[in-house]
A and B are shown apart, each in its own frame.
Chain A
């Protein structure tokens, strides 16, 4: 009954907009979920790569950013940030990544953690050639 009251407050266009956006989100999630697992983890900072390691080996690293040290952990073939000096801890909240192309970004600390596939480097070179 109460829920129906909320539903009645929406115009037809309102419902359409919310539905369309939710569908778009769901589609993107499905597409992203279908990507194959990646091979290695790359950390970029200010255009340069500061760390690169295979996903298969468990390890923990300290990454230095403008705000301080961000800890990155690789365990069971997945990478995640376990501590960071940034104010909102968005990067920690983003959880684990292991699929090709998945990223975790700590924008305040200028760190971008990305999973790279087998052809990751090749793809990037091609992109650079095209764009320059």
Chain B
């Protein structure tokens, strides 16, 4: 009987808060790990930390994705010691454009778009955001845009891989009691 005394709306709010904190913490860990990992192709990063923002977007909403990604970029840069350095701004502009692309596409397309599509668009936004920032801050030369197709191709590969990982994880998570209720609430909200 005590459990029924808990206000379900408050429970949902608290649950969301806790899961977003966990997602952010995991994203920071993945971001740091990916930074430390030696990469086979030097400039190729999968951006695996973005998986957590993707999951926040699909389990909760756009606001959740924004908070996971922004918290991740700022806190991870503090861990790595790159806060306010050019690398931080590259990371931030990429993150802002990626999150904007992801949340907007989800808002516009709704159920028609899956994690892979959102992830690929996010990765594309990330590549464009980074190049834009590099152009503004570091190399003010139009020739820099010749790099876009290379970055875009790598972004598509990374985006597809991340999208599938997020899709598998979402499938597993949605079976958990906490999220079965969560998605039911989300449907009720819409």
Chain A residues near B (Cβ < 8 Å):
6, 9-14, 16-18, 21-22, 24-25, 28-29, 32, 44, 47, 88-90, 92-94, 101-103, 105, 107-108, 110, 112, 114
Question: Judging by beta carbons under 8 Å apart, are A29 and B141 in contact?
Answer: no
Question: Judging by beta carbons under 8 Å apart, are A103 and B156 in contact?
Answer: no
Question: Judging by beta carbons under 8 Å apart, are A10 and B153 in contact?
Answer: no
Question: Judging by beta carbons under 8 Å apart, are A47 and B140 in contact?
Answer: yes
B143 within 8 Å of A (CB atoms): yes
Question: Judging by beta carbons under 8 Å apart, are A107 and B146 in contact?
Answer: no
B103 within 8 Å of A (CB atoms): no
Given A13-B112, A32-B146, A21 contacting B120 (CB threshold 8 A): yes
B127, chain A: closest CB distance, angstroms: 10
Q: A103 — nearest CB in chain B belongs to which residue?
A: B143
Q: A17 — nearest CB in chain B belongs to which residue?
A: B117
Residue of B41, B113, B138 near A107 (CB, 8 A) is: B138
Chain B residues near A (Cβ < 8 Å):
39, 41-43, 86, 109, 112-114, 116-117, 120-121, 124, 134, 138-141, 143-144, 146-150, 152-153, 156, 160, 163-164, 167
A47 vs B139: C-alpha distance when bound (angstroms):
8
A18 vs B120: C-alpha distance when bound (angstroms):
7
Contacts of A21 in B (CB 8 A): 120, 124, 152, 156
Question: Judging by beta carbons under 8 Å apart, are B141 and A88 in contact?
Answer: no
A28, chain B: closest CB distance, angstroms: 4
A32 vs B121: C-alpha distance when bound (angstroms):
23
Given A6-B164, A11-B114, A103-B143, A28 contacting B138 (CB threshold 8 A): no
Question: Judging by beta carbons under 8 Å apart, are B152 and A107 in contact?
Answer: no
Question: Judging by beta carbons under 8 Å apart, are A89 and B42 in contact?
Answer: yes
Residue of B109, B144, B163 near A103 (CB, 8 A) is: B144
Residue of B113, B121, B144, B149 near A11 (CB, 8 A) is: B113
A132 vs B4: C-alpha distance when bound (angstroms):
70
Q: B168 — nearest CB in chain A belongs to which residue?
A: A9
Residue of B39, B41, B139, B149 near A29 (CB, 8 A) is: B149
Given A12-B112, A21-B152, A101 contacting B146 (CB threshold 8 A): yes
Question: Judging by beta carbons under 8 Å apart, are B156 and A11 in contact?
Answer: no
Question: Judging by beta carbons under 8 Å apart, are B156 and A93 in contact?
Answer: no
Given A21-B120, A101-B143, A9 contacting B167 (CB threshold 8 A): yes
